[in-house]
Amino acid sequence: MKRTIVHEQPLADSIVILHPHNMKRLKINTYDYINLKNTVYSSHDVNNRSKELEISARAIGNEHYLSRILTEDGDEYPNDESVLGKREIAVDQICREALALKVGCEVTLSKTDRKYGIGEKLLTRLDYQKAVVRVQGNESYFERKTPVVCLCEEIMKAIDVDYGDNIEVEHMDKRIIVKCAKLTENMKNFHDHVLSPSLKPKGQETEKQQSYLLYPEDFGIESEFSGAEMIHPVFMDRIARDLLGVKALDPVKIRKYFKWQVLKTVNKLGSVSAPFAIPVLIGFVGVQTVSDFWRNVDYVGIILLASWLTWSVATSSTYRVSSPPGG
């Protein structure tokens, strides 16, 4: 495994670079999704407990314009960092961090049926970027009918959402919609420790806290980097974890939920615009020179705007920036 060159522009998903020989052998097309898997082991378990980490990524050949890696047909493991051998894969920083990979180690690659479709392309064009975070458990009193995840402010800013928004959480080929909330004090202490392992968590942990929190360093999951570039924890309640089929330390991807963002914008515009537009339309009805056809059109417009205003007011509490359980 080798590093990839940093992309010139942001992408909605991680990119891995394959040798053209492997692209043809596995029948993988450019931007098709593949799965990557790595196994890590607990350093504090006499039974040598293991944990499989998996993540999906889009594949390109090394001849692609995003790649800066050359092809080497004669050597399976060339020493040159800029040359990709037939039994090598170039993996970007996000995948290396998510799977706890080191340059030169082995990683399991498998083909999937998932394609880079029109919907994904549209969201990429709209700059709906994904962030990779690592799963942690959530305290039981957060578990309600709506799945809830708690995120730090840095990640919220990175994906451009507000607390209380609905967001997408993705793992491999599964995707769910959840409500995002602030971190509790215990979560924040754990979060800060994960990003700076040298810092000791504040206060004494109870058995309850230890039962739903797993420290990445206990499984040898360490970062090449520090601070904001590291994989941040996301605290998911049991409903969310079960729906997505994930456990503590699994990497997942999160981003804005397109439908929620559209409705949130429509709600805001309705609350602001409709009260001013309706009186104008009512006044337009009274103009004598207006034909019956346009007067009927005007009536329809009044009804639609009134419905829009009513809906906006009725749902304003739903789309208002807030902080549900967690903060």
Which amino acid would we find at residue 11?
L
Per residue in 81-109, pLDDT tens? 677 777 888 888 888 888 988 877 888 88
| Rounded-to-integer distance, Cα 314 and Cα 174, Å | 32
Whether 13 and 81 map to the same domain: the answer is yes
Residue 314 lies in a domain: yes
Q: Is the same domain home to 274 and 213?
A: no
Whether residue 123 lies inside any domain: the answer is no
Residue 264 placed within a domain: yes
Q: Is residue 78 part of a domain?
A: yes
In sequence order, the β-bridge partners of residue 36 are 55, 109
User: Taking Cα atoms as reference points, which of 188, 166, 230 lies closest to residue 327?
Assistant: 188
pLDDT 10s digits, 212-254: 788 888 888 877 766 556 789 999 988 899 999 999 999 999 9
Structural domains of the chain, count: 3
Question: What is the helix (H) or strand (E) element at residue 61, kind and residue range?
Answer: strand 50-61
Tell me what pLDDT residue 255 has: 93
The conformation of residue 5, written as its DSSP 8-state character, comes to: P
pLDDT at 71 over 70: no
For helices 258-285 and 292-314, give the axis angle rounded to 10 degrees: 140
Q: How many CB atoms lie within 10 A of CB 199?
A: 11
Point out the domain boundary residue: 211, 227, 256: 256
Q: How many CA atoms lie within 13 A of 229 on its CB side?
A: 11
Residue 208, pLDDT score: 41
Query: Are both 134 and 93 inside the same structural domain?
Result: no
Predicted confidence (pLDDT) per residue in 52-64, tens digit:
999 998 888 766 6
Band (pLDDT 50/70/90 cuts) for residue 65 is low
Instruction: Give the pLDDT of residue 241.
Output: 92
Strand partners, 91: 3, 16
- Domain co-membership, 294 together with 239: no
Same domain, 201 and 242: yes
Per-residue pLDDT at 10: 40
CA dihedral of residues 20, 21, 23, 24 (deg, nearest 10):
120
User: Quick one: pLDDT at residue 135?
Assistant: 95
Q: Give the chain's mean pLDDT.
A: 78
Domain annotation covers residue 274: yes
Per-residue pLDDT, 204: 47
3-state SS assignment for residue 276:
helix
From 256, 286, 306, give the residue that closes a domain.
256
Q: What does the block give as tokens for 182?
A: 């602030």
Contact indicator for 235, 149 with CB cutoff of 8 Å: yes
SS3 100: coil
Contact call for residues 127 and 204 (beta carbons, < 8 A): no
Please tell me the predicted confidence (pLDDT) of residue 206. 43
Let me know if residue 271 belongs to a domain.
yes
- Degrees (nearest 5) of the Cα angle 176, 252, 163? 65
The reply to whether 324 falls in a domain is no
Contacts of residue 81, defined as CB under 8 A and 6 or more positions apart, other chains included, come to 2, 3
Same domain, 216 and 311: no
- The whole-angstrom separation of Cα 46 and Cα 55 is 28
Is residue 252 domain-shared with residue 268, that is, in the same domain? no
For residue 324, pLDDT over 90 is answered with no
Q: By mean pLDDT, which of 4-13, 164-173, 262-271 is the weakest?
A: 4-13
| Structural domain containing residue 41 | 2-117
- Choosing from 236, 256, 276, the residue where a domain stops is 256
Q: What percent of the chain has pLDDT over 70?
A: 72
pLDDT at 299: 76
Q: For position 192, which CATH number holds?
A: 2.40.40.20
Cβ-based neighbour number of residue 310 at 10 Å: 12
Length of the chain: 327
16 SS3 class:
strand
Same domain (yes/no): 62, 34: yes
Global confidence as pTM = 0.81
Residue, of 197 and 123, whose pLDDT is higher: 123
- Reported in sequence order, the residue ranges of the chain that DSSP labels E, i.e. its strands, are 2-3, 15-18, 33-41, 50-61, 70-71, 83-84, 89-91, 108-111, 131-137, 148-150, 166-171, 174-181, 232-236, 251-256
152-201 pLDDT, tens digit each: 999 999 899 999 899 999 999 899 999 999 998 888 888 988 888 666 55
Reduce the secondary structure of 235-252 to three states and give it as a string: EECHHHHHHHCCCCCCEE
Whole-angstrom CA distances from 317 to 224, 244, 281, 306 are 43, 28, 27, 18
Q: Taking 50 as the threshold, does the pLDDT of residue 298 lie above it?
A: yes
Residue 135 and residue 239: Cα distance in Å, rounded? 13
How confident is the model at residue 150, as a pLDDT?
A: 93
**pLDDT over 60 (residue 66):** no
153 and 246 in a common domain: yes
| Segment 112-140 mean pLDDT | 84
Looking at the fold, whether 133 and 213 belong to one and the same domain comes out as yes
pLDDT band for 304, please (50, 70, 90 cuts): confident
pLDDT at 33 over 60: yes
